[in-house]
Amino acid sequence: MATLRPFAALRPTRERAAAVSSVPYDVVTVPEARALAAGNPWSFLHVSRAEIDLPDATDPYADLVYEKAKTNFERLRCEAPFVQEEAPSTYLYRLRRNDHAQTGVAATWSLDEYQSGGILRHETTRRDKENDRTRHMVALRAQTGTVFLTYRPRQEVDEIVERETAAEPLYDFTSTDGITHTLWRVSAANSARLVKEFQDIPALYIADGHHRVASAARAREELRRADARSRGEANHDFFIAVAFPSDQVRILPYNRVVKDLGGRTPEQFLEAVRSVLPVTEGASPAPRNPGDVSMCLAGRWYGLRLDGQAGSPGRTGSADRAAALDVARLQARLLEPILGIGDVRTDKRIDFVGGIRGTDALDRLVATGGAAVAFSMHPVSLEDLMAVSDAGGIMPPKSTWFEPKLRDGLLIHTIGEGL
């Protein structure tokens, strides 16, 4: 069962929506965020990454960053301006890029169900990143970053979505990255039907936004302590998310780049790789099948076959499926034993490149010395993600890159007094 709760959104006006909307805070560096927001006082990056409006040397976790975020949020609410919906509603959010489109249900969802395991996760979270977004939510008394959920398709939901998307949208614009964002407010009658239909959906899966959900749960505890008088269900008991049917969701690869070869020359490194994996020369930069990895080294592309086996791995239906994923096998067979990279979350020698940047980005990094070697991965399947989650497993870090991405600032969930 999934508990969908309509909410009274805080949102920009139709005329200002495109200018306000911004990429998620965690997909850009501070310099990239500063460049994207340059010349645009309405960009929500002034709120989600408020350090862009402070001196370059500012600690992104300093108190003044959260104070600045609150000040910028108050300014945007007044000057953009933002509209506070009077009645709770459900929304539909369509993302379109080229020939791909996906339409999800935007609402709030139960933190109790998240904490009890009814909303399934596939990643662990880092405490420092949780601390950051928890402080952000508490400072603003709002959830401003939208979680990306998925669920197994349900025909009754699809039929409601089809009817509602025939109406005039609230927003319809194309962002600078070529993604078209279209939002509708669902009628009261169909919002009630969606609440009922989602009660019959057995599970929701977190696709993207694990830190946002974990932070929302921690912010709830802080807000409860701050107001010991609080009784009954409150806004902070829910988190904002868009739930997409899994047959519309697209996963791109999450590629790996390593800064050095562990003291080896390219020739020595290639020989070490040949000793543990089958290697072919002249491979395509984008691997065509599960179990294949393309490696860029010294200006040339090589094909690697993990374990030398054909076909998609890991059809066990258990948590062991996570260990059979390509990213896990590359880690176990090559990155750790040959390059000495143990924990990819903390090792500064390795970095990750989302599949949206393409394999040309890997070529450039190797050619310019930004990386000594790059690994182009085949994307994880949504079937694998859901199977690992169903079994209570955790996928390896940086396994999935979901694209297109939801924009920040279009739908905001206020969670407490003070703003």
Residue environment code for 230-249, b if the CB has 16+ CB neighbours within 10 A, otherwise e: eeeeebbbbbbbbbbbbebb
Co-location of 241 and 257 in the same domain = no
Residues 279 and 162 in one domain: no
Tokens of 328: 């896990």
pLDDT tens track for 118-173: 999 999 898 999 999 999 999 999 999 999 999 999 999 999 999 999 999 999 99
Determine the 3-state secondary structure of 310 from DSSP.
coil
Which residues, at least 6 apart from 33, have a Cβ–Cβ distance to it below 8 Å?
25, 45, 49, 52
Q: What is the pLDDT of residue 228?
A: 62
Beta bridge partners, 374, equal 257, 296
**If you average pLDDT over residues 276-302, what whole number do you get?**
96
- Say whether both 256 and 240 belong to one domain: no
119-123, 317-321, 392-396, 408-412, range with the lowest pLDDT: 317-321
> Which range among 6-20, 37-51, 229-243 shows the weakest confidence by mean pLDDT?
229-243
Of 22-31, 202-211, 219-228, 347-356, the one with minimum mean pLDDT is: 219-228
Closest CA to 186 of 97, 114, 128, 105: 105
Assess whether 10 and 52 both reside in one domain.
Answer: yes
pLDDT value at 229 more than 60: no
13 and 32 co-located in one domain: yes
Residues in Cβ contact with 276 at an 8 Å cutoff, skipping those fewer than 6 apart: 333, 334, 337, 338
Spell out a b/e string for 274-288, using b for 16 or more CB atoms within 10 Å of the CB, else e.
eeebebeeebebbbe
- 300-305 sheet: strands from edge to edge: 279-281, 300-305, 292-297, 373-377, 254-258, 350-354
Domain count, the chain: 2
Domain contains 419: no
- Do 239 and 307 lie in a common domain? no
Whether residue 324 sits in one domain with residue 237: no
Q: Clarify whether residues 210 and 93 are in a common domain.
A: yes
Over the stretch 30-65, which tens digit does the pLDDT of each residue have?
999 999 999 999 999 999 999 999 999 999 999 999
Task: Say yes or no to pLDDT of 244 above 70.
Answer: yes
CATH number at residue 374: 3.30.1760
- 362 and 277 co-located in one domain: yes
- 388-408 average pLDDT score: 92
Measure the CA–CA gap between 210 and 205, rounded to whole angstroms: 10
Domain membership flag for residue 64: yes
Q: What is the pLDDT of residue 317?
A: 46
Average pLDDT, the chain: 93
Give the model's confidence band at 265: pLDDT under 50 very low, under 70 low, under 90 confident, else very high.
very high
199 inside domain: yes
pLDDT at 365: 97
State whether 69 and 129 are in the same domain: yes
Query: Which structural domain range is residue 328 located in?
Result: 251-401
Q: Are residues 61 and 197 in the same domain?
A: yes
315 — pLDDT class (breaks 50, 70, 90): very low
Residue 363 CA to residue 372 CA, distance in Å, equals: 10
